[in-house]
Structure 1
Amino acid sequence: MFSRRKLLQSAACIAANGVARSSLAFAESARPGLIKAAEIAEAGLIYGLPMVMNYAVMYDFVINKKSGQYKGPFNQIVNEARVFTYKDTSVPTPNSDTPYSMLWLDLRAEPIVVSVPAIDPKRYYSVMLCDGNTYNYGYIGSRATGSDAGDYLVAGPNWNGPTPPGIKKVFRSGTQFSLALFRTQLFDPEDMENVKKVQAGYKAQPLSAYLKQPAPAGTGPIAFPKIDKKLAKTNFFEYLDFALQFAPAQPNEIEIRENLASIGIGPGKTFDFKELSLKDKLELAAGMKLGELKLEEAVKKAGVDINGWRVTSAGGDSAFFNGVWLQRAVIAKAGIYANDAEEAMYPFTRNDSDGQPLDGSKNKYTITFPPDQLPPVNAFWSITMYNGKTQLLIKNPIDRYLINSPMLPKMKKNADGSLTIYIQHASPGADKESNWLPAPAGPIYMVLRLYWPKEPPASSILPPGKGTWQPPGIKRV
């Protein structure tokens, strides 16, 4: 672990590359001391990382039309009649099981009504409502609301009004910008036309249009700041400063917000790192470095180690995280927009069953599910392969990014009824290729997804880390 002294010295090198002006430096009489400011910056990075990550995704998907990842404007559902591939680079650890439909919501002027069609109960679907804090504040779908058609109202934090006739449920976002992420199960490649029909039934409209009333006065344009991976690191607190103006403080955020305000970050503060004095840059850079180290360590230790897999609770709402900002940041870092545990579980690993790092350039691996011990789910399960450095899907010769339960009829079982999956960079041979999960020629990161996991007393991965079902370890060949 780095000492604060060494981190301050390191940060001085970073700060020296900036413009050492002090026109916006904090008043010496009001600002916290060197160590205190660094502590606030450390906590601020951990607190704010999910919000900045979310803003970066939103910027690529709905604001920057030249991003290469642009989907469409706010308040308009964009259906992806495909699964994610290695070409999708905005979201780390993307799901390649379920074609996505995305609806980025601007709730400043009025609520949005989200409508879903009646869907075959055999086809799993979910609509996860996730705000700018990365809190999952509600669900529509197979588990949460069933397979019947329905109209649901999504409102911003400042809206007050009665529940309109015909609305089944009102969901309240904690921020003025929000995401409705639709996941629709794809059974196999030939099933895509059926998925398209389901997606065509997803609708979104302003409340005024739903009620056939005049629309309220519009909201003014916003100068969304450009963001990319490099800028997110160098200007982190500027992006957090921007995001906070659309996220009213909740009761458990008051203390951290007050601390951030004391170093010039928060609604109305117009934070600008370039304008800070060298001393102020030092403090913030040192604190951010400490925050990064703490987060990296926490991600490695998240959850419980079971046969080399890390099994932990996934996403949740504000009450679930209850002000434990490190837990929220770990979830965002491991895979932003993760479902609640009841909706999906995500054991992940970088190690084999002996605790050694997975590396496709050095080893071949297998994972074997004993007879009748496949992941226990109400919907379906999958194992997805990622580049261990980027946590993105990898290009491979058979365009296969995962093995999932709908593929089972085409896979080969062992004589005893067990199922072995071959995890390696090169093909294991034509006779085994049906069970091959292509790996990168380098570090490996894998996620086992269990959609709508079964609950006790049945065999279950729930409660997280304590369930009766455990994922089998990955063995070196």
Structure 2
Amino acid sequence: MLDLLYRLKEMGFNRMKLTPSKAYFCLMTLLASCLFSAFSVAAESSKISLSRDQVENIVRRSYQYVAIYNVNNKAAEAPESSPMGTGGWNKLSLNTSLFDASIKLIARPNNDTLYQIAMLDLRDQPMILDVPAFDSMYVSLETSAYDHYVSVPLSSVKGDYKKPEKVLFYTARTQGYTAGDEIAGIDRYLEMSGDFVIAFHRIMPHANEPEKFNRISDQINALKLMSLSEYQGKPAPAPSAINFPAVGATDADVFGNNLLEVMQFIFNHTTFDPQDELDQALLAAYKPLGIEPGKAWDPLTAAKIDGDLFREVTGEVQKTVLGMLADAANNTRFLPLIFQPKGQIALETLIVQSVIGPIGLPLTEAIYPPVAAQDGKPMNALNNYVIKISKDEMPPAKAFWSLTLYDRQNGFFIPNEHNKYSVGENAGFKLNADGGIEIHVAAEKPAGVPKENWLPVQRRDEAIDLSLRIYAPDLEKMKTWKAPSAVLVN
């Protein structure tokens, strides 16, 4: 106010003969100018100077949260008509068609199981998933909140899905429910670590067996999601209002554009363990930035960070992980470690699983061995490759296996007019007379190669990846089994 009066005096305001309306306009203009200056000073003073090492520490400790926030919220925000989209929270997306190249919500999706996605908002009351029995040789339910720790509460590997079950989900903050309360007809109670959760079924559809496929499709459509109120025959309450921070087209976009806003939101909807080392290190990294559980986000007073630097460091972390995984020895090391519950997984592994693609299965459910080029060079769509697997070298799957082709940069299917992205029991394959198989990666189908065994690429300078999926792996045989290599053909 003193500044305002001084500026009025400087302008000779006391000597000006103004009408009341003009005087009011001048006063408001000057007041706005002073307020803008004050906000500018406040914003400038709230800028936080971080070293590159500090930025890298924050990126590495935040990656699991940013990656899964992007995946979960994109699925909830996407319309029901889109692949993996639920059109909102506390909704269920049912799918009876194998994915194609239009799927962009998650890196390295698969084309061998059907995804059934429930996006849960557990703030107001518990949600209940009514699960039928399934005839498929492989089914699993996987869950994760924003911390990207993975649990598999139901799985055909463990003998589940032989009978229907009702599963109730809640958190420590869920209103109207206390842990330990039993409700008639509920078979399982699952406490989640966050208020916003993905509960995600993978179902092997037996797509090459039409009668069985139709039966499984009917079972998929019998999946139901309801609130506790609806389960008890009452109207579902209106959801509490909430504003979600914007997702990013990529994880790097969140790190560059609105990291602090996203992390404040996550902090307010996540259960942190005072005894967990990773939880406490994360909270300690953000406290100097003013981000703490229970605080309200205020963009006017929030700290300012160098978004460009955070984006740059995120790219370096991604590049380091992908480069490291190009080494077969590193893949062998990480495969048994990824996608585990809280307390059973290290920070480095959390970063790896978040970079390669959130929401995967642990070792006991599935293994994802990459297929590298035999010459050790990065694979490129300018070349043709063949993967030869003899009968004795077939992937040791108790359920089934598949081989999927992706572009390396984004982890998406490579579009092609044949709608062919993987080789396996659902997408199709043909064995040789000796029980082995040859799979070809090429722009044009090589002569004599069954179309089921061909993975089309677009002939251009583009890095590509091949990933095996082995469902219900024989862990004893996996000790000596080796993934095949891709041999350069041209």
TM range (shorter): 0.7 to 0.9
Q: In structure 2, do the counterparts of structure 1 residues 381 and 93 end up closer, same or farther at CA, with 3 Å as the change threshold? A: same
Give the SS at the match of 2:187.
strand
CA distance in 2 between partners of 1:228 and 1:117 (Å): 35
Q: In structure 2, do the counterparts of structure 1 residues 66 and 128 end up closer, same or farther at CA, with 3 Å as the change threshold? A: closer
Q: In structure 2, do the counterparts of structure 1 residues 269 and 263 end up closer, same or farther at CA, with 3 Å as the change threshold? A: farther
Deviations 1:396-438 (A, max 9, x none): 1321110013566x5140x543211111122112544332122
1:470 aligns to what?
A: 482
2:341 aligns with one of 292, 313, 317: 317
1:100 aligns with 2:124: no
Instruction: Report how far residue 214 of structure 1 moved.
Output: 7.7
* CA root-mean-square deviation: 3.0
Deviations 1:65-104 (A, max 9, x none): 4996643332222201211111111111111111211100
1:136 aligns to what?
A: 150
Q: In structure 2, do the counterparts of structure 1 residues 310 and 432 end up closer, same or farther at CA, with 3 Å as the change threshold? A: farther
Unaligned runs of 5+ in 1: 1-19, 461-466
Deviations 1:157-208 (A, max 9, x none): 3352323343332212110000011111121253542232111221222223
2:8 aligns to what?
A: none
Q: In structure 2, do the counterparts of structure 1 residues 211 and 307 end up closer, same or farther at CA, with 3 Å as the change threshold? A: closer
1:255 aligns with 2:281: yes
1:163 aligns to what?
A: 182
2:91 aligns to what?
A: 76
1:246 aligns with one of 266, 269, 279: 269
1:148 aligns with one of 163, 176, 184: 163
CA distance in 1 between partners of 2:483 and 2:300 (Å): 46
CA contact under 8 A between 2:114 and 2:204: conserved in structure 1? yes
1:365 aligns to what?
A: 385
Aligned AA (1:438): P
CA distance in 1 between partners of 2:199 and 2:101 (Å): 23
Aligned AA (1:131): A
CA distance in 1 between partners of 2:412 and 2:193 (Å): 29
CA contact under 8 A between 1:352 and 1:475: conserved in structure 2? yes
Instruction: Report how far residue 149 of structure 1 moved.
Output: 1.6
CA distance in 2 between partners of 1:155 and 1:381 (Å): 34
Q: In structure 2, do the counterparts of structure 1 residues 371 and 429 end up closer, same or farther at CA, with 3 Å as the change threshold? A: same
Q: How many residues align?
A: 433
1:60 aligns to what?
A: 74
Instruction: Report how far residue 255 of structure 1 moved.
Output: 2.7
1:50 aligns with 2:50: no
Q: In structure 2, do the counterparts of structure 1 residues 241 and 176 end up closer, same or farther at CA, with 3 Å as the change threshold? A: same
1:386 aligns with one of 403, 406, 410: 406
1:332 aligns to what?
A: 354
Q: In structure 2, do the counterparts of structure 1 residues 156 and 27 end up closer, same or farther at CA, with 3 Å as the change threshold? A: same
Unaligned runs of 5+ in 2: 1-38
CA contact under 8 A between 2:86 and 2:118: conserved in structure 1? no
CA distance in 2 between partners of 1:288 and 1:167 (Å): 45
1:188-227 paired onto structure 2 within 5 Å: 188=207, 190=210, 192-212=213-233, 219-227=239-247
1:396 aligns with one of 407, 416, 430: 416
Give the SS at the match of 1:143.
helix
CA distance in 1 between partners of 2:183 and 2:44 (Å): 49
CA distance in 1 between partners of 2:361 and 2:76 (Å): 22
1:187 aligns with 2:206: yes
Aligned AA (2:133): A
CA distance in 1 between partners of 2:80 and 2:185 (Å): 39
Give the SS at the match of 1:167.
coil
Larger radius of gyration: 2
Aligned AA (1:171): L
1:270 aligns to what?
A: 297
Aligned AA (2:430): M
Aligned AA (2:447): G
Higher relative contact order (CA 8 A, sep 6+): 1
CA contact under 8 A between 2:112 and 2:425: conserved in structure 1? no
Identical-pair percentage = 21
Instruction: Report how far residue 22 of structure 1 moved.
Output: 5.0
Deviations 1:249-285 (A, max 9, x none): 2232123212202122333152649975xxx534x65
